[in-house]
Amino acid sequence: MSDSKQEQYPGVVMPKCEPLKILKNQKALVTGANSGIGKAVAIALGEAGADVVVNYRSGEDSAQEVVDKIKQFGSKAIAHQADVSQEDQVGTMFKQMIQEFGTIDILVNNAGLQQDAPFDQMTLQQWNTVINVNLTGQFLCAREAVREFKRRGVVSEVSNAAGKIICMSSVHEVIPWAGHVNYAASKGGVMLMMKSIAQEVGPYRIRVNSIAPGAIRTPINTEAWSTPEAYDSLMQLVPYKRIGEPEDIGRAAVWLASDLSDYVNGTSLFVDGGMTLYPGFATGG
Ligand code: BGC
């Protein structure tokens, strides 16, 4: 692994080996894949051998950059513009993906946003926008994916499973978050949606899991890490004492999408440096 690659993962010592192509012949769709966590996940899946649809809502150039990067690994990639909260746009996206790639094996339900406000000032529009994208968007995409997984079934040369869904949740599926009630409610909803779908479609050999990231260095939370003061205050919440990098989530997604995690179903994988360990109790209680 080159030094420049090492530099991409501050604070993380990467194993010195070629990435395994453990997702070879698999077709993946990553929503909200032109920035932040979605971008890192799309690139990691492509590096692991999957062909990837890079969904974005706005920002065609950045989506194209992700596509170009994935192609460098020898995988196929296409960008597709769609708002995941719109049923017709989601339907068209899946139709086009199946036309282009033949099927779908992996859905990463990543697209999400925050619209923060003190509770008594939160508008219905802020509430609806966050629920529509973060929760309804995941429902719409998961439903299309399950339809295709059930239609096609297991293809044993490709994967033990008929399909895998990874929902991007958050530590806020369990940690209440003042000033972010709409966001926390959406992620709490994602948790039980994910588990209920997993219970229902497990018999079809479809695996459904979540990744629950903590504080990851992305545009969604720039305020929380971009000044030394903010970073220090954030570290009070992270026992492992470093911010997460998008690549930390990319690697978790590759594992959850692969047969290495074949017996993992209906679970949330917390990738949070220990944020959910009640860090306040390290000295108190
Ligand atoms: C939020 C970030 C936040 C992190 C930890 C994420 O789900 O999107 O803004 O920094 O949780 O609180």
The residue whose C-alpha atom lies closest to atom 12 belonging to ligand 1 is 215
Query: What's the average model confidence in pLDDT over 211-240?
Result: 97
Distance 169 CA to ligand 1 centre (A): 10
**Residue 260 falls inside a structural domain:** yes
Q: Is the CB of 113 under 6 A from ligand 1?
A: no
**Residue 2 falls inside a structural domain:** no
pLDDT band (50, 70, 90) for residue 11: low
Quick one: DSSP state of residue 217?
S
Name the pTM for this structure.
0.94
Element (H, E) at 257: helix 246-257
**Residue 199 falls inside a structural domain:** yes
Distance 101 CA to ligand 1 centre (A): 33
Q: Is 204 a catalytic residue?
A: no
User: For residue 135, what are its two tokens?
Assistant: 């929760």
Residue/partner pairs of 8-14 with CB below 8 Å, 24 or more apart = 8/245, 8/247, 9/245, 9/247, 10/242, 10/245, 11/242, 11/245, 12/245, 12/247, 12/248
**Residue 235 falls inside a structural domain:** no
Q: pLDDT higher for 22 or 20?
A: 22
**Residue 8 falls inside a structural domain:** no
Residue 183's CATH number? 3.40.50.720
Distance 134 CA to ligand 1 centre (A): 13
| Residue with token string 């490709």 | 158
**Residue 233 falls inside a structural domain:** no
**Residue 55 falls inside a structural domain:** yes
Residue 168 confidence (pLDDT) above 60: yes
Q: Is the CB of 171 under 6 A from ligand 1?
A: yes
Q: Are 168 and 211 in contact (CB under 8 A)?
A: yes
Share of the chain above pLDDT 90, in %: 92
Q: Per the residue annotation, which of 56, 183, 204, 240 is the catalytic one?
A: 183
The residue whose C-alpha atom lies closest to atom 10 belonging to ligand 1 is 215
Q: Are 106 and 23 in contact (CB under 8 A)?
A: yes
Number of domains in the chain: 1
Distance 30 CA to ligand 1 centre (A): 19
Residue 16 confidence (pLDDT) above 90: no
**Residue 264 falls inside a structural domain:** yes
Domain ranges, residue 137:
21-218+244-275+277-281
